[in-house]
C-alpha cells in the first residue's frame, strides 16, 4: 500500500517566472495541448506507414470521427450538468436499427422516426433525472437496458419491408466533397458543432447549463428551473445520439442489435480527454471534437502498428488515464 503517501507536496522551489507563466498559459488552454497530441499522433502514423497523410486520409478520419463526435456531443452537454448518459449507445443503436427497418416508408419518414426514438428516450431520461431526481448513472443505465432489451424483443416488428440503409444516409456518412478531403457528414457535423459551441457560449440555455453543473443549489435559489434545464439537456443528448447512430449505420452499411455498443465508453472517453469535468461546470464541445478525432487517429495508429486487439485496449486505457491525470494536476495548479 505504497499509495498511502498521497499528499505529494506541491513543488516548493520557485521556478523561473516566465517558464511557469508559459506552462500555466498552455495548461489553461487544453485545446493547444490536444492539438499538439493530435499532431504528434499523426506524425507517428506517418512514420509507422510512410504516405499515411493524404487528403483522402483526412477525409476518412473525419468520416469515422463524425458519429463518435455526435454521441460525445450529447455526452458533453450532460456532463456539463455533472451528469452522465450511459444510454447513448442503446439509443443510437435503436434509432439506427429502426430507421433501417422503416426505410421502405421513405427516407424522410425513416429519419423522422429515428429522431423520434431519440426524443422519447431523452424525455424519459430527463423526467427521471430532472423531476424524480434519480441519479443519472442509474437512470441512464436502467434506460439503456430497457431500450436495448425492448429493441431485441421487438426487433421483428420494427422492420417493415426490406431493411436497408437509405442511399441518402449512406451518401451522407461516406460520401465526399472536393477531392475526397471533406466528407459529406461534415455538412451536418459542422453546423451542429457551431450551434453547440456558440449556444454554450452565448445563449441563456448554454450559460445556465454551466451554472447548473457548477452549483445546482445556488441555481435553484437564484430562480433557475433546474428540472427544465436537465429535461432539455437529456432530450438533446438522446437526439444527438440518435443522429450519431444514423451516421454510424451509414458508415457500416448494415444495422444490427449491437451496432453502436462498442462506442459507449469511447463517447465518455472523448469528453474526458477533451477536458470536460465529470463533476460538471467546466469544459466545452471544442475539446470533445478533438478528443473524438484523437481517439479515431489513435485507433488507426494502433492498427497500423499491427497491434493486437488486446494491446490496443491496454494502450487506449492508459492514454485516457494519462490525459485525465494531466487535467487533474493542471486544474489543481491553476
Partner 1 sequence: MTTVDEASTTVGRRGFDARRVAIRHGWTIGVYVLLVLLVIGYAWALAPVAFTSFDLGSIVIGALPLVFAAMAQSVIVISGGIDLSLGVMVAVINVIAASLMEHQSFATSLLIAFGLMVVGVVIGAINGGLVVLTGVPDIVVTLAMSFVWGGVALVIMRTPGGGAPNAFQSLGTGTFISAWIPSGAVIIALVLAAAWLPLRWRRPGFAIFAIGSNRDRAYLSGVNVAQTRVMAYAIGGFFAAMGGLAATATTGIGTPYAGNFITLNSVAAVVLGGVSLAGGKGGVVGPVAAALCLTLVPSIMVFQGIDPNYGQVIQGALIVVVVMIGGLLLLRERS
Instruction: Give the residues lining the site for partner 1 (CB under 8 A).
Output: 1-7, 84, 86, 128, 132-135, 137-139, 141-146, 148-150, 152-153, 265, 268-269, 272, 278-279, 308-318, 320-321, 324-325, 327-329, 332
We find the least distance from the C-beta atom of residue 94 to partner 1, in angstroms, to be 13
Q: How far is the CB of 31 from partner 1 (least distance, A)?
A: 20
Nearer to partner 1, 103 or 121 (CB): 121
Q: Cα dist. 285→205, 242, 279 in Å?
A: 15, 18, 16
Q: Output 181 or 265, the one with its CB closest to partner 1.
A: 265
* Tally of CB atoms within 10 A around 10: 7
CA 228/CA 127 separation, integer angstroms? 9
Q: How far apart, in whole angstroms, are the C-alpha atoms of residue 262 and residue 285?
A: 22
Least distance CB 136 / partner 1 (angstroms): 10
User: Grid coordinates in use for 114?
Assistant: 429515428
Q: For partner 1, which is the closer residue by CB, 50 or 262?
A: 262
Who contacts 312 (Cβ-Cβ below 8 Å, separation ≥6)? Answer: 299, 302, 303
Of the pair 112, 142, the CB lying nearest partner 1 is at 142
Chain length of the chain: 334
Least separation, in Å, of the C-beta of 82 and partner 1?
Answer: 11
Find the shortest distance in angstroms from Cβ 314 to partner 1: 3
Q: How far is the CB of 64 from partner 1 (least distance, A)?
A: 19
Closest CB to partner 1 among residues 188, 326: 326
CA 279 to CA 296: how far, in whole Å? 25
Nearer to partner 1 (CB atom), residue 5 or residue 17: 5
Angle at 272 between CA 120 and CA 126, to 5 degrees: 20
- Cα-based distances in Å from 147 to 62, 241, 264: 29, 13, 14
Amino acid at each position: 500500500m505504497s499509495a498511502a503517501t498521497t499528499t505529494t507536496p506541491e513543488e516548493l522551489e520557485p521556478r523561473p517566472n516566465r517558464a511557469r507563466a508559459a506552462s500555466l498559459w498552455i495548461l489553461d488552454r487544453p485545446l493547444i495541448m490536444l492539438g499538439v497530441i493530435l499532431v504528434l499522433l499523426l506524425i507517428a502514423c506517418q512514420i509507422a506507414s510512410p504516405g499515411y497523410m493524404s487528403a483522402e486520409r483526412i477525409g476518412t478520419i473525419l468520416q469515422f470521427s463524425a458519429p463518435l463526435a455526435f454521441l460525445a456531443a450529447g455526452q458533453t452537454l450532460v456532463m456539463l450538468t455533472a451528469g452522465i448518459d450511459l444510454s447513448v449507445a442503446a439509443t443510437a443503436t435503436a434509432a439506427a436499427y429502426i430507421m433501417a427497418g422503416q426505410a421502405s416508408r421513405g427516407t424522410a419518414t425513416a429519419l423522422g422516426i429515428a429522431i423520434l426514438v431519440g426524443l422519447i428516450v431523452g424525455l424519459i431520461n430527463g423526467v427521471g433525472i430532472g423531476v424524480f431526481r434519480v441519479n443519472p448513472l442509474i437512470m441512464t443505465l436502467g434506460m439503456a437496458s430497457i431500450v436495448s432489451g425492448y429493441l431485441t424483443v421487438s426487433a421483428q416488428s420494427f422492420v417493415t419491408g426490406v431493411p436497408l440503409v437509405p442511399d441518402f444516409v449512406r451518401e451522407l456518412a461516406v460520401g465526399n466533397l472536393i477531392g475526397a478531403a471533406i466528407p459529406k457528414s461534415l455538412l451536418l457535423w459542422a453546423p451542429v458543432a457551431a450551434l453547440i459551441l456558440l449556444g454554450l457560449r452565448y445563449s441563456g440555455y448554454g450559460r445556465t447549463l454551466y451554472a447548473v453543473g457548477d452549483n445546482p443549489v445556488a441555481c435553484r435559489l437564484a430562480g433557475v428551473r433546474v428540472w427544465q434545464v436537465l429535461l432539455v439537456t437529456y432530450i438533446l443528448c438522446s437526439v444527438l445520439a440518435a443522429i450519431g447512430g444514423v451516421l454510424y449505420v451509414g458508415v457500416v452499411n448494415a444495422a444490427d442489435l449491437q451496432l453502436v455498443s462498442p462506442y459507449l465508453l469511447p463517447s465518455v472517453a472523448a469528453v474526458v480527454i477533451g477536458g470536460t469535468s465529470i463533476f460538471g461546470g467546466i469544459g466545452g464541445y471544442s475539446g470533445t471534437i478533438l478528443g473524438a478525432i484523437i481517439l479515431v487517429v489513435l485507433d488507426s495508429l494502433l492498427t497500423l502498428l499491427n497491434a493486437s486487439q488486446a494491446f490496443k485496449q491496454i494502450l487506449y486505457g492508459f492514454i485516457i488515464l494519462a490525459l485525465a491525470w494531466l487535467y487533474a494536476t493542471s486544474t489543481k495548479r491553476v
